[in-house]
Structure 1
Amino acid sequence: MRLYHPRQAPGAIRCGHPGWINLLAALLLAWITSACAAPQATQALIQVELAADGETLKVNLNAGSTVQQALDRAGVGLDALDRTEPQSYTVLSDGAKVKLIRVSEIFEVEQVVLPFERQTLRNESLPVEKEVLIQRGKNGLQEITYRRVFEDGVEVSSQPIPVNSVILEEPVPEIRMIGVQTPFSPVDIPGRLYYLRDGNLWKIEGNTGDRRAVLTTGDLDGRVVSVSPDENWVLFTRGSDVDGRINDLWAGFIGEPAEGGSVAGQEDQTLVDLGVDNVIHFADWAPGSNSKIYFSTVEPRPTAPGWQANNDLLSLTFADTGWTTQWVTIIEANSGGVYGWWGTEYRWSPDGRWLAYARPDSIGYVDYKTREITKTLDIVSLQTFGDWAWVPGTAWGPDGNVLYTTEPGVSEGSNVAESSPDFDMSAGRFDNGSFLRLVRQTGMFAYPLASPLQQLSTGDLEYQIAFLQAETPERSETSAYRIEVMDRDGSNRRTLFPDEESPGIDPQQYWGAWSTAPLPDGGGLALAVVYQGNLWLVDVNSGETFQVTGDGLTTRVIWR
């Protein structure tokens, strides 16, 4: 029997052949892998409602989208002021509602009238209740810009919001002068009295009833008031409106005008800005000069006392045209010793030979030619436990040989002069450096003043010293004071003013001035005194007193 077998195609795999087994394994592996893989899911969608520009839109978004993405999908843009509820970064959920609020603003400009102020100046040279219009008032004009806010066309600002203000025209105050002439009898005087009253400088000549304003800027701060040797100019400080500046130093012409010229006190009087600011302690004319001045400066500070002293000394020369020289430095800015932040006082001797200085820790003199400082007397610096420092007051004798001052003493039960309540008046000479205590326990604010030289019946020349004596020397910082007078050597001491029935004097550095000659009609030398804001004259020989002003506005006095 013949057997026949089917022919196998080339490359075919027989069952049981290794290739067949590999194929089955690969198919099985692919099936197992596909069975274990995670199912592919489509990302979920959410739908939100968008209200914008008067329409409501349904917007489909991917889950996790924000308000901003919803706006982008809807093709809605945001302007700079527009806002949404909820805010644009908020993630939305299905069914959320979004509101777009269109915000706009407009600006309106309004002009407002600024009413002028009314000021009244009291003038003792006018009869009582007589009124004179000095300056007509004029309203000013202010421009104010307001902002109004709208949301979806509806105004939401409760009232317009001011965002800018400009003064187009400053108001001009109305100034009226009213007479307050006092019933004080006029008194004949030698020389001329200058006194600072309510920010203006006044002059009395001949008798106390003849007075007139010679400088009427109204802003003299009283730090510096000095009349030139020829009495044609006054050196003064005036308050400053500039931020970070205390005051400015000026010179004003107060002499008699040339024929056909203006009268001092009118708007066109000559004023020269010297270009110097922040002068607290010293500015004065050079001896014998009517155009050269010396001065010292400070740096303003926001904390008490309001400055940091430079303790410098400078000079300049000016002309009535407004021209000034460059500053010449005599003493460079320096620390000023103990408590030097307060400052240094300077004082010329009558003959111009010496320029004394006084500061919290010493007294001495400046050689303004060699620009050297010489210390003559050490002062134990007083601990004030406050934002001020004590500087001893000084006064030259009329011959320029002796300087009078005040220095701390040592009280019983205390050996520490820095805290001693005792203060004594001393006198000394710069040529030999010796100082002698003349009066014990005057108080810290004695501020001595030396009279002019007087010729005695013997032909000798003498002078007197007036000073402030504390009523309670052990508490002299807060005590009231009374004026006492003594001979130059401390003898013949007596209380002069005010009388026992009247309150004492509030001590000030510039409390008074000596007359340049005796009062007429057999009177003696007189003292002009600032007492309770009024000007008084006191005959030193007889003790007779004369009240000159009564408006309570006088702060300084100069007798020439």
Structure 2
Amino acid sequence: MKTWALSYRLLLLFLLAIVLLGCEASTNSTDDSKVRLEVVVDGTRKTYTYDRIASVGQLLAAYEIEVSPLDKVNPPQFTQISDGMVITIVRVTEEEKCTDSTLAYEVKRFNTTNLEPGVVEVAEPGKNGIERICYRVVYEDGVEVSSTIRERIILEPAIDRIEYVGVEDNVDPVPIIGTLSYIASGQAYIMQTSSSSRRPLTTEGGLDGRVFDLSSDGRQLLFTRQTSDANDEPFANELWVILDTRSNPPTPIQTELRDVLTAAWRPGVPYTFAYSSATPANIFSGWSAYNDLHIIRLDGQTGNIINVDTIIESNLTGLFAAWGTRFAWAPDGQKMAYAKADGIGLVDFAAGVLLPPTISFPHFESSIASNWVWQPTISWSQDSEWIVTTVHGPPYAEESPTNSIIFDLAVWRVSDNFIIDRLLPEVGIWANPIYSPIAVDPEFGFKDFQIAYLQARDPYNSVSTEYDLVVADRDGSNPRIVFPGTSLRGIRPIDGEGEFVWSPDGEQIAIVYQNDLWLLNVRSGIAQRVTNEGPVRAPRWVG
């Protein structure tokens, strides 16, 4: 009996020892499963323990440690926590700071033959502007680490100082057929009979070149001028008219219209023009176009508006509508074509709409990235049957269609929509082809016309390359360089050169080259400089 009791006691002691060992093991196991780590944030360093498998983000949430979307957490919040880990949180904040600074004016000097040689006349004294630059400033734990420009706002535009410098009139006279007009140093000039007879049509300057159109008889001039109010936006302009360019002196008349984007006389209808408008805007172009179209009739004696016919109401239809729409009258005054960034079509006057484009092409994305929109020019043949233009061509290599570097010359017969979209391939973005007047071919005796255009010397880099003036037959055959020739510096459209116009008889071309106007005899190839008044633009020639 005593033996059994002893054995029973030993068994109880054995079981008790097992239970105690199990408890100790359990205790050790629990301690071993806890993770100890540190969190460094807001200038403090604290130790935390956690007894479950979790990510860094879950741990921070469990201990109510707030993390903003901008904060930097290292290691990242998706990382699984481990014993001994150090989690660092860098507080990131942003703010916008704006500072106003002086926007210095530029000094522009222009030559003129209206002053004695060497005499300098200040036409505009110049005024500094004010520019507001706003920055995005980033702080990490209260310390500034970066500052980047977010926006530039012109609070007050700088007004350039304009100086005219007298130079000798050393240009040899050249006979002029019809009436040739142009802008030089912000003034309008006209030539008739001879280049030596050139005379100014304006004296106050400020012509911005956005609108500059001579009526088909050469007697009326339509132009835009920058506003004189220094508080106006840079785009802001006024539409002016000269009702009789033969007057001496001529009388510029300001119309009621402002902020005009395009305007042109209607052929064959006296004192009547079409125009489209915009509003100054703080976007890359400086304006936001209305894409409207109105036909205006002026009083031939006073220049007052006596009739307004709205063809198209303001709208934002089409690609890059804020840039606007290019319009071009046909010589018969009954048709009008339009151009946008991705196509060319006709205006339906009866319905008051733009018809779907007849010629379509991808827009030029590279220009958008550089804050401008490419639109092709439009030239009608004298019989109002054909249109010649530049189109954005197919990709040259592996680039996307919108980034294609190819620009071709295309023609469109309007009566039956016959199109040749690559009449002359790879001419360049600034080809700006123009039909010549219809003339009698001296060799074969029949009536015909030609195409003049600018040919890129490097058609695969045509935005910035130099160009030559080329004349080809109407079907694109027999293209020949007529100016300036490969031995001379080429024409630089990117710098404002290359605007050209045919003479009324189709024998000459007036072209802007090296800041002056040159007259080129198409048959002989002889070119003569006919101006020295300073930077020339917008030549217009009518018979």
Q: TM-score, normalised by structure 2?
A: 0.67
Structure 1 equivalent of residue 157 of structure 2: none
Structure 2 equivalent of residue 381 of structure 1: 363
Note the C-alpha offset of 1:415: 6.4
Match of 2:345 among 364, 386, 390: 364
Matched, 1:342 2:327: no
Note the C-alpha offset of 1:402: 0.7
Match of 1:535 among 517, 540, 543: 517
Note the C-alpha offset of 1:547: 1.1
Note the C-alpha offset of 1:321: 2.2
Q: 3-state SS of the aligned residue for 1:474?
A: helix
What is the alpha-carbon distance in structure 2 between the residues aligned to residue 176 and residue 417 of structure 1? 46
Aligned AA (1:371): G
Note the C-alpha offset of 1:499: 2.3
By relative contact order (CA 8 Å, sep 6+), the higher-ranking structure is 2
Matched, 1:406 2:395: no
What is the alpha-carbon distance in structure 2 between the residues aligned to residue 211 and residue 310 of structure 1? 37
Match of 1:455 among 421, 425, 440: 440
What is the alpha-carbon distance in structure 1 between the residues aligned to residue 178 and residue 219 of structure 2? 15
What is the alpha-carbon distance in structure 1 between the residues aligned to residue 532 and residue 345 of structure 2? 40
Structure with the bigger percentage of helix: 2
Note the C-alpha offset of 1:477: 1.4
Q: Write the deviation string for residues 248-304 of structure 1: whole angstroms up to 9, x where unpaired.
A: 1111234333xxxxx225xxx2x3322211122x20112212322110011211121
Q: Which has the larger displacement, 372-381 or 390-399? A: 372-381
What is the alpha-carbon distance in structure 1 between the residues aligned to residue 416 and residue 383 of structure 2? 16
- Contact kept, 8 Å, 2:497 with 2:512, in 1: the verdict is no
Structure 1 equivalent of residue 189 of structure 2: 202
Structure 1 equivalent of residue 43 of structure 2: none
Structure 1 equivalent of residue 175 of structure 2: 188
In structure 2, relative to structure 1, the CA distance for the partners of 1:503 and 1:336 (3 Å cut) is: farther
Structure 1 equivalent of residue 71 of structure 2: none
How many pairs does the alignment contain?
390
In structure 2, relative to structure 1, the CA distance for the partners of 1:212 and 1:371 (3 Å cut) is: same
Q: Which sections of structure 1, spanning at least 5 residues, go unmatched?
A: 1-117, 139-174, 258-262, 519-524
In structure 2, relative to structure 1, the CA distance for the partners of 1:223 and 1:133 (3 Å cut) is: closer
Aligned AA (1:313): L
What is the alpha-carbon distance in structure 1 between the residues aligned to residue 320 and residue 418 of structure 2? 25
Note the C-alpha offset of 1:177: 7.5
What is the alpha-carbon distance in structure 1 between the residues aligned to residue 171 and residue 383 of structure 2? 36
Note the C-alpha offset of 1:122: 4.2
Q: Write the deviation string for residues 411-469 of structure 1: whole angstroms up to 9, x where unpaired.
A: 34336321100111000112222210211101111101111111124332111111111
- Contact kept, 8 Å, 1:254 with 1:264, in 2: the verdict is no
In structure 2, relative to structure 1, the CA distance for the partners of 1:389 and 1:461 (3 Å cut) is: same
Note the C-alpha offset of 1:493: 0.3
Aligned AA (1:414): E
In structure 2, relative to structure 1, the CA distance for the partners of 1:292 and 1:347 (3 Å cut) is: same
What is the alpha-carbon distance in structure 1 between the residues aligned to residue 426 and residue 531 of structure 2? 32
Q: Write the deviation string for residues 199-221 of structure 1: whole angstroms up to 9, x where unpaired.
A: 11111122222211122221111
In structure 2, relative to structure 1, the CA distance for the partners of 1:413 and 1:134 (3 Å cut) is: closer
- Contact kept, 8 Å, 1:229 with 1:290, in 2: the verdict is no
Structure 2 equivalent of residue 324 of structure 1: 305
What is the alpha-carbon distance in structure 1 between the residues aligned to residue 302 and residue 164 of structure 2? 32
- Contact kept, 8 Å, 1:463 with 1:487, in 2: the verdict is yes
Structure 2 equivalent of residue 443 of structure 1: 428
- Contact kept, 8 Å, 1:336 with 1:343, in 2: the verdict is no
What is the alpha-carbon distance in structure 1 between the residues aligned to residue 120 and residue 323 of structure 2? 44
In structure 2, relative to structure 1, the CA distance for the partners of 1:323 and 1:499 (3 Å cut) is: same
Aligned AA (2:390): T
Structure 2 equivalent of residue 102 of structure 1: none
What is the alpha-carbon distance in structure 2 between the residues aligned to residue 289 and residue 528 of structure 1? 26
- Contact kept, 8 Å, 1:393 with 1:445, in 2: the verdict is no
Match of 2:281 among 298, 301, 305: 301
- Contact kept, 8 Å, 2:111 with 2:532, in 1: the verdict is no
Aligned AA (2:500): G
- Contact kept, 8 Å, 1:310 with 1:343, in 2: the verdict is yes
Match of 1:391 among 364, 375, 378: 375
What is the alpha-carbon distance in structure 2 between the residues aligned to residue 422 and residue 483 of structure 1? 18
Note the C-alpha offset of 1:346: 0.5
What is the alpha-carbon distance in structure 2 between the residues aligned to residue 335 and residue 359 of structure 1? 12
Matched, 1:123 2:109: no
Note the C-alpha offset of 1:489: 0.3
- Contact kept, 8 Å, 1:425 with 1:442, in 2: the verdict is yes
Q: 3-state SS of the aligned residue for 2:188?
A: strand
Q: Write the deviation string for residues 298-352 of structure 1: whole angstroms up to 9, x where unpaired.
A: 1211121111111111122222324313532101122231122211100011122
Note the C-alpha offset of 1:531: 0.6
Q: 3-state SS of the aligned residue for 1:421?
A: coil
Aligned AA (1:201): A
Matched, 1:238 2:219: no
In structure 2, relative to structure 1, the CA distance for the partners of 1:362 and 1:206 (3 Å cut) is: same
Bigger-Rg structure (1/2): 1
Matched, 1:504 2:478: no
What is the alpha-carbon distance in structure 1 between the residues aligned to residue 451 and residue 360 of structure 2? 23
What is the alpha-carbon distance in structure 2 between the residues aligned to residue 176 and residue 441 of structure 1? 41
What is the alpha-carbon distance in structure 2 between the residues aligned to residue 224 and residue 183 of structure 1? 30
Match of 1:287 among 267, 288, 296: 267
What is the alpha-carbon distance in structure 2 between the residues aligned to residue 184 and residue 176 of structure 1? 22
Q: Which sections of structure 2, spanning at least 5 residues, go unmatched?
A: 1-106, 126-161
User: Aligned-residue CA RMSD in angstroms?
Assistant: 2.8
In structure 2, relative to structure 1, the CA distance for the partners of 1:550 and 1:176 (3 Å cut) is: closer
Counterparts in 2 of 1:45-64, with a 5 A limit?
A: none
Counterparts in 2 of 1:84-163, with a 5 A limit?
A: 122-124=111-113, 128=117
